[in-house]
């Protein structure tokens, strides 16, 4: 399990960032576990995978995509009638590949749908970094749309700089602003953000500051869209659990803060569904109230 522990530490320390990258890292380490297994029978092999799953699940609280990726692979193995360990190991590899193909197809479909909302001359406002949002904007650019983007720096880790660099590489006019200037620059035509989790109530969990952007967008009468794969649905919220909100080190905010000063650093927050114009997902642009129903139709195994 050394490989799993190393991956867990990388996730915790933000060496691996972004829901998609965290899910990929988890799938890759499951393949390592399957390849290097010492298990002699099916039961022992499943025990090893379950141990790896439990370690990965507690690495970060706000990672339903990663949990669903791991859940998919384990369900595939458990649903197999294979008894021999080498055969089960191959199923881990093929299951991981199938999940990634589904994820990539979802991103492509989301980009095709969402890019249609980007029109010539638009100003797009975004927050934090989302590979799915960036891909959507790339698709709009490839479709010949001429637009510009305003992105926040996204303190305290400055993920907005990643967004800015990627957009510049795509040849998209981009303006970076400090988070507190959001209202002053909410002269946009549309606001688009990613998501880390979707809940049963239709609320969205995303990077801290997203709820402020949603509030500002509503006050400025700018439509606020969330871009997300339905695979980010957290089924635990259906049974009364709250999506975990990770709180990170105070040093990210102020490395040499006075010892007696209380410094809070939540990494995520909840955006209430009433502030969301629509969720752009692989099944179309849907109202947040329908997220659970559509996710259940598309991915019943998540439940």
Q: Please confirm, yes or no, whether 196 is among the known catalytic residues.
A: yes
CB-based contact 196:21 (threshold 8 Å): no
Phi and psi at 122, nearest 5°, equal: -70, 155
CB-based contact 249:82 (threshold 8 Å): no
What does the alpha-carbon distance between residue 90 and residue 37 come to, in Å, rounded to a whole number? 12
Q: Which of 70, 80, 76, 68 is nearest to 95 (CA)?
A: 76
Dihedral sign of CA atoms 143, 184, 159, 234 in order: negative
Dig out the tokens for 24 from the structure: 């990929």
Tally of CB atoms within 10 A around 144: 7
* SS3 of residue 50 by DSSP: helix
What does the alpha-carbon distance between residue 244 and residue 223 come to, in Å, rounded to a whole number? 27
- Give the angle subtended at the CA of 273 by the CAs of 267 and 278, to the nearest 5°: 105
What does the alpha-carbon distance between residue 52 and residue 5 come to, in Å, rounded to a whole number? 9
Q: Please confirm, yes or no, whether 281 is among the known catalytic residues.
A: no
Question: Between the CA of residue 156 and those of 178, 251, 254, 260, what are the distances in Å?
Answer: 11, 10, 9, 20
Q: Choosing from 47, 87, 120, 128, which is the catalytic residue?
A: 128
ω into 156 cis (within 30 of 0): yes
Q: Choosing from 47, 87, 189, 196, which is the catalytic residue?
A: 196
Length in residues, the chain? 303
Question: Between the CA of residue 287 and those of 183, 216, 273, what are the distances in Å?
Answer: 25, 20, 9
What does the alpha-carbon distance between residue 294 and residue 291 come to, in Å, rounded to a whole number? 5
Q: Which residues are designated catalytic?
A: 128, 196
């Amino acid at each position: 399990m050394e490989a799993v522990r190393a991956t867990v530490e990388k996730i915790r320390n933000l060496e691996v960032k972004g829901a998609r990258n965290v899910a990929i890292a988890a799938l890759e380490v499951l393949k390592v576990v399957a390849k290097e297994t010492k298990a002699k029978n099916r039961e022992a092999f499943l025990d090893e995978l379950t141990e790896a799953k439990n370690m990965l699940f507690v690495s970060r609280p706000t990672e339903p995509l990663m949990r669903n990726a791991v859940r998919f692979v384990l369900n595939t193995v458990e649903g197999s009638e294979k008894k021999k360990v080498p055969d089960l190991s191959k199923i881990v590899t093929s299951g991981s590949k199938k999940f990634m193909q589904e994820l990539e197809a979802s991103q492509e479909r989301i980009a095709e749908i969402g890019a249609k909302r980007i029109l010539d001359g638009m100003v797009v406002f975004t927050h934090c970094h989302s590979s799915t949002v960036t891909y959507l904007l790339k698709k709009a650019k490839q479709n010949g749309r001429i637009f510009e983007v305003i992105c926040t720096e996204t303190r305290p880790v400055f993920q907005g700089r990643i967004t800015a660099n990627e957009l510049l590489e795509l040849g998209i006019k981009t303006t970076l602003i400090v988070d507190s200037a959001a209202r002053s620059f909410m002269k946009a035509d549309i606001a688009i953000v990613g998501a880390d989790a979707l809940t049963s109530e239709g609320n969205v969990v995303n990077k801290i500051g997203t709820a402020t952007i949603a509030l500002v967008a509503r006050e400025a009468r700018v439509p606020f869209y969330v871009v997300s794969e339905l695979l980010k649905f957290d089924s635990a919220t259906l049974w009364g659990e709250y999506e975990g909100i990770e709180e990170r080190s105070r040093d990210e905010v102020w490395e040499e803060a006075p010892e007696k000063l209380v410094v809070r650093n939540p990494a995520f927050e909840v955006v209430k569904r009433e502030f969301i114009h629509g969720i752009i997902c692989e099944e179309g642009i849907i109202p947040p109230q329908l997220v659970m129903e559509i996710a259940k139709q598309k991915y019943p195994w998540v439940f």
